[in-house]
């Protein structure tokens, strides 16, 4: 049975790629050194797969920044502002980052600036970045200009194929990986052109044919073409595009393995089964409830690759159960049944062996990328009748121990979950009533000003946290250092003139990790890094068991902060859905149940904050929209439990306690009703980049509560003027009654410096004062 993977983590077990990229970008290392590191990583990853018994090695799963960007440079889809001859790697970096090491100091400040901003007018702005389906990986969105001409431009694909052939000695063992033409067009954005995207398909297919021809000339027999949009709800014209595309590509002299993942094929099952390709890869885990239909309907004379080892989570596979699931496919397809992970292993850490500090029991339940290769081989041998009984027995024992583990299962938490129906999810009174008491209590002016939570984290703050964590700083000295920082942040806010304060969060390294470290049921790795985008890596926590809160997590910090000022101090928490979305989540119970466990822990924290005198409490749900299922038919159920988890967190407070929430990177039009059902007294959202266009969602929907649309982009070092912020707030006032408008930045200020933060916030406060004079006169006249 043929074994393969769809892709391997590219960053390296010790984040070698990250450090090589950043050294190159800073001018501290040469391009040649970057190439050497990249080549070493590719060859190490291929050798790891060979050693594990994989039959086909993926090529072009490696990228210096992103696999979709790889496709853009290969196809010549390079925006006008970045085109140059000859093409170099720096062109790709400019597309991704707006700058490259050879650029001047103006360009190096551009980054992901909004194209309409003053900052972007001084330099070439980077391409947009979006989430890759429902993962936490981001891709660079292809831009189609009026004069975009598809042509092979970046030849790294063919060079890396040669490199892989030299390693293995056999071209037939190499499987190049391409983002498919229909998915590529679907994800692309038209820039300054009205040409319908699908009108470009014939020209695009010509270049794909040339690519496949060149690969055939290199001796390649199989090419993996990823078409993940086949799991989405596609309109007729996009379904037709698939038929046209693969009718065209069937003339090429290679075998195409069409790869889908992340969901079922849904209504695209019949279409997919009849596409003229040599094989199909199907995600047998996230598409489990359509697996039988895929096996029954896919032609028996073609290859069916099934992914029954989870490429997106870190738990061991139940190999006995997986082998049982594969029996019908083995009977029908015989040697034409291939085995792989469900999707690329890009989304999991590299090697569990490095985790020497993890609880040994928990470690026994896990599998990272390298371990998943071994699982695929063990499973293939078992299905082929060559089972390694000793290894399978070890696997069975781990699965059975996990099911009964007291580390994972907490009777007290489960008993509390069983009583959920007895907890009221509604606040005591409706917003329209409780807002009267809040306004009387807080006496805030029109356009009250606040920030989202975090303030700049200096090197001294990070060093104190690190020293405390490593035992080099006593708890007494650590608390004193953090309190000193909180005191300084409060003094700065008083000088600036903000209306509602925050404590600045100096004690927090990460908005999820900080809470996870204090909750039972969470674990953290040392080297469990995964790529988010470019050189940006994240280390998601592991929710391994029933979640509970042993003690208060934030109360002492908020209480101290409130004692330092007469101004209102917001308590700051990360919401349950965001905690869930940005973690590796246990796979033995519904996500809804796990989310409710986190919500109950946060509910306890909210009530403790309230009891400690904190009268405004913000629960950030940055990832609420990210959790939406890929199929719209599944949205209602997700939004039901996601909204209810927020209400579970907040419904126990008094009417006069004001609940805030914050969301970023969100498009609200399609979830605005759910956002309203959360019933937060105040919602702050990221809107400045869109020039308040996100507020269009509020035109047709009368959002009843208060809103703080962000008035400046914290991702940019640019300091907005008072006039710019006045203009944005005036735009917001066209859609939102001024009595319900707050004034705040887009997001937290953790990554900015004080030299940018203080003047920007001062301008923001001044803008609010200008608007108060303007609108107070209007209100009095009315």
**Residue 273: what are its φ and ψ, rounded to 5°?**
-65, -20
28 marked ligand binding residue: no
Contact 283, 307 (CB under 8 A): yes
From the candidates 40, 274, 409, 715, give the one annotated as an active-site residue: 715
Instruction: Give me Rg for the CA atoms of the chain.
Output: 27
Beta strands in 20-76 (DSSP E): 57-59
16 marked ligand binding residue: yes
462 marked ligand binding residue: no
Alpha-carbon span 613 to 585, nearest angstrom: 34
Contact 189, 144 (CB under 8 A): yes
191 marked ligand binding residue: no
Tokens representing residue 600 in the block: 């109950």
Tell me which residue of 622, 607, 542 sits closest to 574, measured CA to CA: 622
Contact 615, 682 (CB under 8 A): no
327 marked ligand binding residue: no
729 marked ligand binding residue: no
Contact 255, 278 (CB under 8 A): yes
660 marked ligand binding residue: no
Alpha-carbon span 701 to 671, nearest angstrom: 11
Alpha-carbon span 368 to 366, nearest angstrom: 7
DSSP state, 9? -
529 marked ligand binding residue: no
Tokens representing residue 51 in the block: 């050693």
Alpha-carbon span 106 to 540, nearest angstrom: 34
- 634 alpha carbon, distance to own chain's centre: 19
Helix, strand or coil, per DSSP, at residue 210 = helix
Which residues, other chains included, contact 636 with Cβ-Cβ below 8 Å and sequence gap of 6+? none
Q: Which long-range contacts (CB under 8 A, 24 or more apart) does 251-254 make?
A: 251/209, 252/209, 252/212, 252/213, 252/216, 253/212, 253/213, 253/216, 254/212, 254/215, 254/216, 254/220, 254/221, 254/222, 254/223
503 marked ligand binding residue: no
Alpha-carbon span 384 to 403, nearest angstrom: 28
- Centre a 10 Å sphere on the Cβ of residue 477 and count the other Cβ atoms it contains: 13
Tell me which residue of 300, 245, 240 sits closest to 273, measured CA to CA: 300
Among left, alpha and beta (phi > 0; psi -120 to 50; other), residue 504 is: left
Angle formed by the axes of helices 591-611 and 635-650, nearest 10°? 20
Angle formed by the axes of helices 475-496 and 754-781, nearest 10°? 40
664 marked ligand binding residue: yes
Among left, alpha and beta (phi > 0; psi -120 to 50; other), residue 677 is: alpha
582 marked ligand binding residue: yes
620 marked ligand binding residue: yes
First-to-final CA distance of the chain: 78
Annotated catalytic, 715? yes
Contact 746, 450 (CB under 8 A): no
Beta strands in 196-263 (DSSP E): 222-226, 255-259
Alpha-carbon span 772 to 546, nearest angstrom: 49
Give 735's Cβ-side CA count (13 Å radius): 20
436 marked ligand binding residue: no
Helix, strand or coil, per DSSP, at residue 629 = coil
Alpha-carbon span 736 to 771, nearest angstrom: 14
343 marked ligand binding residue: no
Q: Which long-range contacts (CB under 8 A, 24 or more apart) does 654-658 make?
A: 654/428, 654/610, 655/427, 655/428, 655/429, 655/433, 655/434, 655/437, 655/438, 656/434, 656/437, 656/438, 656/441, 656/615, 657/610, 657/615, 657/616, 657/617, 658/438, 658/442, 658/615, 658/616, 658/617, 658/682
Alpha-carbon span 678 to 714, nearest angstrom: 26
109 marked ligand binding residue: no
What b/e sequence results for 195-218 when a residue is b if at least 16 CB atoms lie within 10 Å of its CB, and e otherwise?
eebbebbeebbebbeebbeebbee
Which residues, other chains included, contact 415 with Cβ-Cβ below 8 Å and sequence gap of 6+? none
452 marked ligand binding residue: yes
Catalytic residue numbers, as ranges:
715
For the annotated binding site, the residues are 15-18, 131, 136, 452-454, 505, 536-537, 582, 620, 626, 662, 664, 686, 747
For the annotated binding site for L-homocysteine, the residues are 452-454, 505, 620
For the annotated binding site for L-methionine, the residues are 452-454, 505, 620
For the annotated binding site for 5-methyltetrahydropteroyltri-L-glutamate, the residues are 15-18, 131, 136, 536-537, 582, 626
């Amino acid at each position: 049975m043929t074994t393969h993977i769809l892709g391997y983590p590219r960053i390296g077990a010790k984040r070698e790629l990250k450090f090589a990229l950043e050294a190159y970008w800073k001018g501290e290392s040469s391009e040649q050194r970057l190439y050497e590191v990249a080549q070493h990583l590719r060859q190490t990853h291929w050798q790891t797969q060979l050693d594990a018994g994989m039959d086909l090695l993926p090529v072009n799963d490696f990228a210096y920044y992103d696999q979709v960007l790889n496709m853009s440079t290969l196809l010549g889809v390079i925006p006008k502002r970045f085109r140059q001859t000859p093409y170099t790697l720096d062109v790709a970096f400019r597309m991704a980052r707006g700058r490259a090491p050879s650029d001047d100091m103006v360009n190096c400040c551009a980054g992901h600036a909004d194209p309409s901003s003053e900052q972007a007018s001084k330099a070439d702005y980077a391409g947009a970045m979006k989430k890759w389906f429902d993962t936490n990986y981001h891709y660079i969105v292809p831009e189609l200009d009026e004069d975009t001409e598809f042509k092979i431009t970046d030849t790294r694909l063919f060079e890396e194929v040669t490199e892989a052939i030299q390693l293995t000695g056999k071209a037939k063992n190499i499987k190049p990986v391409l983002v498919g033409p229909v998915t590529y067009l679907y994800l692309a954005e038209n820039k300054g052109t009205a040409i319908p995207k699908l009108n470009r398909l014939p020209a695009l297919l010509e270049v794909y044919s040339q690519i496949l021809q060149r690969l055939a000339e290199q001796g390649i027999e199989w090419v993996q073409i990823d078409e993940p949009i086949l799991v989405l709800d596609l309109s007729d014209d996009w379904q037709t595009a698939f038929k046209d595309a693969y009718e065209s590509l069937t003339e090429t002299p290679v075998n195409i393995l069409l790869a889908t993942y992340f969901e079922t094929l849904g209504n695209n099952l019949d279409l997919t089964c009849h596409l003229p390709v040599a094989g199909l890869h199907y995600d047998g885990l996230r598409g489990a409830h359509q697996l039988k239909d895929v096996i029954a309907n896919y032609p028996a004379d073609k290859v069916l690759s099934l992914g029954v080892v989870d490429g997106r989570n870190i738990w061991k596979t139940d190999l006995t159960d997986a082998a049982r699931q594969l029996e019908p496919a083995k009977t029908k397809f015989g040697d034409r049944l291939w085995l792989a992970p469900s999707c690329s292993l890009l989304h999991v850490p590299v090697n569990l062996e490095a985790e020497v500090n993890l609880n040994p029991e928990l470690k026994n339940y896990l599998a990272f990328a390298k371990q998943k290769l071994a699982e695929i081989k063990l499973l293939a041998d078992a299905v082929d009748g060559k089972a390694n009984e000793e290894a399978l027995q070890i696997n069975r024992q781990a699965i059975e121990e996990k099911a009964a583990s007291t580390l994972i299962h907490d009777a007290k938490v489960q008993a509390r979950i069983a009583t959920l129906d007895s907890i009221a999810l509604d606040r005591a009174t409706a917003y329209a009533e409780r807002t009267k008491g809040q306004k009387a209590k807080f006496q805030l002016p029109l356009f009250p000003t606040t920030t989202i939570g975090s303030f700049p984290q200096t090197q001294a703050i990070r060093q104190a946290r690190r020293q405390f964590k490593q035992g080099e700083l006593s708890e007494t000295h650590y608390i004193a250092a953090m309190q000193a920082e909180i005191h300084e942040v409060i003094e700065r806010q008083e000088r600036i003139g903000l209306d509602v304060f925050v404590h600045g969060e100096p004690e927090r390294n990460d908005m999820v990790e900080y809470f996870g470290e204090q909750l039972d049921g969470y674990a953290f790795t040392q080297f469990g890094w995964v790529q988010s985008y470019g050189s940006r890596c994240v280390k998601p926590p592991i929710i391994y068991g029933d979640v509970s809160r042993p003690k208060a997590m934030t109360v002492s910090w908020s209480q101290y902060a409130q004692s330092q000022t007469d101004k209102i101090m917001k308590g700051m928490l990360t919401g349950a859905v965001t905690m869930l979305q940005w973690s590796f989540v246990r796979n033995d119970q519904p996500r809804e149940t796990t989310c409710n466990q986190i919500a109950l822990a946060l509910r306890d924290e909210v009530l403790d904050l309230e009891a400690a005198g904190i009268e405004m409490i913000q629960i950030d749900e940055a990832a609420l929209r990210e959790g939406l299922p890929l199929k719209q038919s599944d949205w209602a159920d997700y939004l039901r439990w996601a909204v209810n988890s927020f209400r579970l967190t907040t419904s126990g407070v008094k009417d006069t306690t004001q609940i805030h929430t914050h969301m970023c990177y969100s498009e609200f039009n399609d979830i605005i009703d759910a956002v309203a059902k959360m019933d937060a007294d105040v919602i702050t959202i990221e809107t400045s980049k869109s020039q308040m266009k996100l507020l269009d969602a509020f035109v047709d929907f009368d959002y009843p509560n208060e809103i703080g649309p962000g008035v400046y982009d914290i991702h940019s070092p640019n300091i907005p003027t008072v006039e710019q912020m006045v203009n944005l707030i005036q735009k917001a006032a066209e859609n939102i009654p001024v009595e319900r408008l707050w004034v705040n930045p887009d997001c937290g200020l953790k990554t900015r410096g004080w030299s940018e933060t203080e003047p920007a916030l001062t301008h923001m406060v001044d803008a609010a004062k200008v608007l108060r004079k303007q609108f107070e006169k209007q209100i009095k006249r009315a």
